[in-house]
Amino acid sequence: MSDRIDHMRQVPALTQKLTELTLALKKGPVEQGILSLVEIRASQLNGCAFCLDMHIKQARLHGERELRLHHVAIWRESLLFSDRERAALEWTEALSRLLPHGVPDEIYAKARAQFSDDEIVYLTYLVMVINAWNRASIAFQSVPGSQDKAFGLDRVGLS
């Protein structure tokens, strides 16, 4: 068990605001399956065990297939993802690991070909938010699975 601050309880007003933004994004125009893939891929890239654990469980609750979850880390080589999902995953990587000169035009063009203007904005903000959650969970060493009961994730049976 970590001896670090429980950031969610220490300053609940901040947690609430980030939660509100997260929930608003999930009510937007981008489908749940893509939202899940984005959260999982960003959490993989950032090495956030807490968020990766949580978002895999959430994806399973939303009906995501197990094999696709295993393939998120190798999405470029996998045949299991649509062009739209690939564009979202590539966008997630470009924004989570910014290059010195920003997002390359090629990646932006792929996203524009698959998403409406509103969807790209929602997708961008989702990547921003999951990166924020990842950073907080990593900084305070949030324990994977420790919030399963509170978030209703114990229902998935992956403890």
Task: Please give the domain boundaries of the chain with CATH numbers for all domains.
Answer: 12-154 (1.20.1290.10)
DSSP reduced 3-state for 29: coil
Measured distance CA(128)–CA(36) in Å, rounded: 14
Measured distance CA(57)–CA(140) in Å, rounded: 21
Q: What is the mean pLDDT of residues 112-130?
A: 98
Chain centroid to CA 146? 18
pLDDT(143) > 90: no
* pTM for the structure as a whole: 0.91
Question: Could you report the per-residue pLDDT of 21-76, keeping only the tens digit for each?
Answer: 999 999 999 999 999 999 999 999 999 999 999 999 999 999 999 999 999 999 99
- Confidence category of residue 2, pLDDT binned at 50, 70, 90: low
Q: What is the mean pLDDT of residues 122-146?
A: 92
